[in-house]
Amino acid sequence: MKKTLLFPLLACGMIVYGQNGDPRLTEVWEPEPRVVTPGATDKDAPSDAIVLFNGKDLAEWESMDGKPAKWTVENGVVTVAKGTGAIKTKKAFGDCQLHIEWRTPAVVKGEGQGRGNSGIFLMGLYELQVLDSYNNRTYSNGQAASIYKQIPPLVNASRKPGEWQTYDIIFIAPRFNKDGSLKSQARITVFHNGVLVQNNMAIWGATQFIGIATNKAHGEKEPLVLQDHGDPVSFRNIWIRELE
């Protein structure tokens, strides 16, 4: 640190300041945070968000094979069309804030993993489970708001089937070293219907149905994927803010 200390204040200012000092020394003016206009309500997309589903069409989505997405859009809602397969965003994303609303069928059918099952795959690899977990016991690390087959939610904050539910997600992508090894784990924070259910948890690796989570190097950005698990789960009001 600078060696030559001058204490001119001792001669005058310190008398007035006493134990205080100049409060302006701890003000930081630059850079000025850029302005983002929040949505009309907190659920609505802020001005810097990319709206992934606007209620009208699947312009931002495609099938896994790159062909047009075949899910059903009706009344401002997109619903899994059984057997048409997962859909993915045309754009790719890394670190992000993601808002998504989903609804499992009001008419309950099946149980456990067989009831209102879908999934949100961050980067197409890390699944945040979507499931009707209202009075529907399954394995804890497979219920709604779990990181599938890895981390159960802190609590079960599910709404009833047929009601709209929300996920507000902060996702930090994993980083890989040049040699392909894992540098830092992905991290996730999730609010389910306004309730904190994943608190900055480290994701183990890419979701696997069988066996262990894996960590193979991948891109800094990858498309977001919504799963077709055969149940007519619906989604609406999907927007994402890139953190970069």
Q: Between 44 and 57, name the residue whose CB sits nearer to a second copy.
A: 44
CB contact at 8 A, 166 and 101: yes
Least separation in angstroms between CB 228 and a second copy: 9
Residues 38-97 that bind a second copy (CB under 8 A): 38-39, 41-44, 46, 48, 95, 97
Alpha-carbon gap, residue 102 to 214, rounded angstroms: 28
Is residue 179 a contact point for a second copy (CB under 8 A)?
A: yes
Taking CB under 8 A as the rule, does residue 241 contact a second copy? yes
Applying CB under 8 A, among 57, 59, 84, 155 the residue interacting with a second copy is 155
Buried b (16+ CB within 10 A) or exposed e, 67-104: eebbbebeeebbbbeeeebbbbbeeebbbbbbbbbbbb
Stretch that binds a second copy, among 23-31, 54-62, 64-72, 73-81 (CB under 8 A): 23-31
* Cα–Cα distance list, 220 to 5, 93, 121, 123, 172 (Å): 47, 8, 15, 9, 10
> Which of 124, 192, 224, 238 touches a second copy (CB under 8 A)?
192
Owner of token pair 């795959």 = 121
Sole binder of a second copy in the list 166, 218, 220, 221 (CB under 8 A): 166
Residues with Cβ within 8 Å of 78's Cβ and at least 6 positions away in sequence, in order, are 53, 58, 71, 72, 234, 235, 236
Instruction: Please work out the total of residues on this chain that contact a second copy, with binding judged by CB under 8 A.
Output: 107
36 binds a second copy (CB under 8 A): yes
Nearer to a second copy, 74 or 244 (CB): 244
Q: How far is the CB of 3 from a second copy (least distance, A)?
A: 5
**H or E, element range at 201:** strand 195-202
For 137, counting Cβ atoms within 10 Å of its Cβ (0-12 exposed, 13-18 middle, 19+ buried), the class is: exposed
Distance, CA of 228 to CA of 64 (rounded, Å): 11
13 binds a second copy (CB under 8 A): yes
204 binds a second copy (CB under 8 A): yes
Q: Work out which of 79, 104, 136, 150 binds a second copy, going by CB under 8 A.
A: 150
Taking contact as CB under 8 A, which single stretch among the options 8-16, 59-67, 72-80, 84-92 is the one that binds a second copy? 8-16
